[in-house]
Amino acid sequence: MDAARVEELILEGKNSQEIRKKLKGRTQKSYEIKNKGKKVAQEVISTVKLPHPIYIDSASGGTMTDVDGNTYIDTTMGFGPIILGHNHEAIKDALNAQMEKGWLFGLPADQQFELGELLTEASPCAEEVIFANTGTEATMYAMRAARAFSGKSKIGVFDSAYHGGHDYALLFATYEEGTNSKPNGMYASAGISNVIKDETLMLLPYRNEAAYDMIRKNKDDLAAIILEGSQNSNPRLNNKDFLQGLRDVCTECDVLLILDEVVTGFRVDYGGIQGYYGIKADLATYGKILGGGFPIGAVAGREDIMAVFSGKGGERRIFHGGTFNGNPFSMVAGIAALSYLKEHKDTVYPSLMEKGNRLANEINDFCEKNDYPAQILNAGSKFHMKFQREPINSGFDIKNYYGGKHKQAENEFYLHLLGQDVIVPGVRLSFICDAHTDDDVSKIIDSMKYSFNAVREDGLF
């Protein structure tokens, strides 16, 4: 169906019209805020195609409430950090206690050691830890550390990866002659020098053993490879063989293996993806859950490599610093979150896994039976719906990154879902948290089914 015809169907569609009317009618304050905020360069990932974003006023447990008073089941979860649910009591208590003592010292406090201990205990590769403020900083520092330690200049990055917003993290893939064994690099952002792409990065294919030989051939230039053990772009938990292969090749070639655990850390297992698969990286990067909902990043890893941060590595010392690194609020929130997770890990993780799998399985069965062009990919409680029936082995197979043929139907689907009071972030990567009840998960499933049917009734697929 061509785009113009789809647009017509949206305009004509009874359900399309009704949902727009309903959503606009109940989000007037959001509309006013949008107009007020015109002079601010906002980083708003609009949730759905309304004339205005939905602005949030408060959140609690598994829900968020917007400025107009509408309450939604939230699957954004702060883009991943909120694993226990919004406003968790243990974290709130820790923050309140810290509030009385002060919120920024610059100089270190004992809490940095406490959170560092919790991280080194949980992360299989962590002998030492440094803190930063974001996952972006963590991956940037890990790459710098790998270059300094090895004396080599290039970092291998994988297609369909996300490692944050710095210049070394935004190389996306195009492919040669329809094969995913040789991805070509293309920046996902203007303003980055080609020198970075050509001289400091090397693009590798994810879930494709061709990567092994590429590493072997380039081992003299490659300081490290960095990857997510389960990519945000195609969440799954069947990557063990691929990761083990990479672990073996890296050891064989003296190339460092950096696992980006910014999302998977404390999410798929208390020990992150390394704990889940039983595979140890040389360095791992953390963020999100580690900060209990406050800004954080961390690099953890082998003591001999981490020595480049402290100067124990002599001449190879690298710069690492920042005003808010190890700030008290991030530390105490992180300690509270990790302590809770550690104590309840035998119940929290199986329950998150079960809820995420039930959601994915029920929706995937429903889509298959009814021939809806959609599927959910999930790594336990982290999930991403893709609007295509074709199987997805890796990011290479994903058709709807830049507007696949079901793009409009997808947008329409999320409008209906919002109308059913389920909010999914604009980037579509979604999370179940511990505060989501079985009934919440059932409500998400029912709302998704309702939304598929509403879109089909309008003739969009």
Return the residue of 228, 282, 410, 434 that touches ligand PLP, per CB under 6 A: 228
Min CB(261)–ligand PLP separation in Å:
8
Q: What is residue 258's DSSP assignment?
A: E
Does residue 164 touch ligand PLP according to CB under 6 A?
yes
Contact track, ligand PLP, 23-62, x by CB under 6 A: ----------------------------------------
**Local structure of 21: helix, strand or coil:** helix
Return the residue of 163, 207, 355, 436 that touches ligand PLP, per CB under 6 A: 163
Residue nearest to ligand PLP (CB): 135
Q: How many residues bind ligand PLP (CB under 6 A)?
A: 14
Does residue 239 touch ligand PLP according to CB under 6 A?
no
- Tell me which residue of 164, 349, 172 sits closest to 260, measured CA to CA: 164
Return the residue of 135, 271, 292, 334 that touches ligand PLP, per CB under 6 A: 135
Give the interface segment with ligand PLP, choosing from 38-46, 135-143, 149-157, 380-388 (CB under 6 A).
135-143
CA torsion 187→189→195→199, rounded to 10°?
-40
d(CA 243, CA 238): 10
Give the interface segment with ligand PLP, choosing from 187-195, 256-264, 356-364, 452-460 (CB under 6 A).
256-264
Residue 349 vs residues 17, 192, 385: alpha-carbon distances, Å: 41, 40, 22
Give the interface segment with ligand PLP, choosing from 42-50, 130-138, 268-276, 434-442 (CB under 6 A).
130-138
Does residue 274 touch ligand PLP according to CB under 6 A?
no
Residues 6+ apart with CB under 8 A from 58: 64, 65
Residue 299 vs residues 141, 243, 305, 307: alpha-carbon distances, Å: 7, 20, 11, 12
Phi, psi for 181 (deg, rounded to 5): -85, -10
Q: Classify each residue of 208-238 as buried b or exposed e, where b means 16 or more C-beta atoms within 10 Å of its C-beta.
A: beebbebbeebeebbbbbbbbbbbbbbbbbe
Return the residue of 139, 357, 394, 408 that touches ligand PLP, per CB under 6 A: 139
Does residue 81 touch ligand PLP according to CB under 6 A?
no
Residues 6+ apart with CB under 8 A from 422: 72, 73, 75, 443, 444, 447, 448
Does residue 232 touch ligand PLP according to CB under 6 A?
yes
Does residue 136 touch ligand PLP according to CB under 6 A?
yes
* Footprint on this chain of ligand PLP (rule: CB under 6 A): 79, 134-136, 139, 162-164, 228, 232, 260, 262-263, 287
